[in-house]
Structure formats: C-alpha cells, structure tokens
Amino acid sequence: MAKLSFFLILISIPLITGCRKQPAAALFIFGDSLFDAGNNNYINTTTLDQANFWPYGVSYFHHPTGRFSDGRLISDFIAEHAKLPLIPPYLQPRNYRDLQNYHGVNFASAGAGALSQTFQGLVIDLKTQLKYYKREVAELRHNIGGGARISSTAIYLFSIGSNDYMSPFLLNSTLLSSYPHSKYVDMVLGNLSTVVKAIHKKGGRKFVFLNLGELGCFPGLRILKPETDGGCLEEVSELSELHNKKLKDLLVKLDQQLQGFKYFLYDFKSSLAQKTTRPLKYGFEEGKMACCGTGRFNGVFSCGGKRPVKEFQVCENPSKYVFWDSYHLTERVYKQMADEMWYASTERDNSLKKLFLCI
C-alpha cells in the first residue's frame, strides 16, 4: 500500500510545468462547519450551528472564533502552506484595499448543505454562498479592479454534503425517505455541479474537493445505535460512500466538459478512517470518543453548555483525540490532513502545492 497516495485521490490533472515562485493570489472557501471560520457568528441561527463560545478555539486562538474545533481548520492550514493569512469570513466586516493585499474570502457556513432544504433558514446554503461569491467578485471589480484576474488564478476549496446526509437522521426529516438514495445523492451533487459551473463561468479554473468521511461512525451518529451495539450507523455511511463514488465520477465528467478545469480530490474518508481505527500510529490516544460533549462516546452535541443539552465535559488534552466534539475533529487532525493534501503526490507527481503554484 502506498504510504502517501493512500490519502489522496487526484484525477485528470495534466502535468503542469509553468510554475510561479509565489502561491495563487486568492483562496475562496465554500462549504460547511469543516471550513466555517465564523460566518455563522453573523447570522440569525441557533447555538447548534454556532461555535462562538468556550471551549471552542481553546488550543490555538485561546478564545472562540466560530470555528468548530479546538483550534485551526484544514482551510487555515492550507492558507498557511500557501503563505496566505487566515482567510476572513465573508460576513465579517472588511475593507477592500488593493490587489496585493487581497487573499480571498471564506463563504462556508456550519450546517450548510448543497440542498437548500438542509437546516433551511438557519444556515447559508451552497446556492447562497455562490450568490455571495458573485457579489464579492463584483465588489472587487468596483473597489480595487482585477476581479477577473483574481477569479482566474484563485483556488476554490469545497467541503459540502455531510449535512445533507446527516440532517434527516438528526431531525427525523422525511426528505430522504421521499427519494431513492441514488436520486438523493444525485440531487446533492447536481447542486454542487451547478455551483462549480457558475464559478467556472466567472473564470475559476482550480478546484479542491474533499470527499466525505464515514458519517455513521461520527460520535453524534454512533449514539443513535442501541447502547449494546456501539457500532456505526450504517445507513448514513452508505449514503456518504455513494456520494464519494458519484463525486469521483462527476469530477471526471466536469474535467471533460469545462475548458481549463483542474481539480484535486482529497480522500478525507480514508485519512480519517486510518486515524480512528489506528489512532496510536498517528499520535492519538482516542479515535472514537469525542473530547468535548456528554453521553456515550461524548456523542451528545452539548460541547460548551450553550445548546439544548447543557451538561458536558471537555478532555484535558485535545491533541490526544481525533474527534473534538460530536461531529468535528481536533486541530491536530486538521493539520495532519492539510499536510497530507499539500505534500502528498501520486505517480503523476501532482500535489495541492503544485495546484497553487502552477499555471
């Protein structure tokens, strides 16, 4: 088994030779709580979709920022690798200055899905994130010029889909039962495809995607199984597996359809599975139980005591845990994943680093 390529799926990127010394001009980030750097701090929602309270942020920022972790996220570490500052949330007040100091913006919203029905009215769904992106490009053009150049050289980072598959089980929604699983996944990916095509039409060419972890094995889903079982919620995991297969096929199709389209697909599922099943190998002591929460596996989503369930406990050292809370990972895991994305290469000698640096 290859040591590095195990963590990486990278398909249909031609060998690129025209490379710069400096990274891409900007990073545009779309998605859910895996990437939300604080957008949900600024919307009218519930604490279930916010992380602007202790102990979130305790390990790095030493105060809550709205990130669903004890510290930084994958997107933060990718920005660091690319020698970019932390990318600000779109809804955070900002001043447009000049092209040289513009590094992108983060549209991600915790709880968001590709489907507008997912936690509808409480989050910024993917379609709305696209609307914000179009508005951002227009603002760039109006305020500092160069919007087209920024769009064409930027990297577009996506994490989306988890909430579309988890929410029906968490809310006892009938949406999923209204469709065959294959059709439901097609709806999710159809919306993602529409957004990617719209960005491509605006000049976007370089895209980064994460597939989905085995969702049924997250602490918050494990506790939906009988207490005597302790296993994963298979139906959710089957949905995420079907999503991953169809996502891979979709990207091959988009590569054939869209001129200049380059993409990088990270095998988030395999990387997380390795860390949860063999935590000691990666420097962790606990791969299944969350650091912060209550109940079995600390899977009750109560971290911080600001949600409907107030009781919670938090571990002494989050860096020893894979899971931070019921559905999210610790900063240490996110750093390892970002490092894998940046440096790992396939037999075609491509990496996320090259996607940033090469034209």
Residues marked as catalytic: 33, 325, 328
Compute the C-alpha angle 221/318/53, nearest 5°: 75
Is residue 135 within 8 A of residue 157, CB to CB? The reply is no
Burial class for 146, CB neighbours closer than 10 Å (0-12, 13-18, 19+): middle
Give yes or no for a cis peptide into 55 (omega within 30° of 0). Answer: yes
Question: Comparing C-alpha atoms, which of 167, 110, 81 is closest to residue 339?
Answer: 81
Q: What is the dihedral of CA 221, 226, 229, 232, to 10 degrees?
A: -20
Burial class for 306, CB neighbours closer than 10 Å (0-12, 13-18, 19+): middle
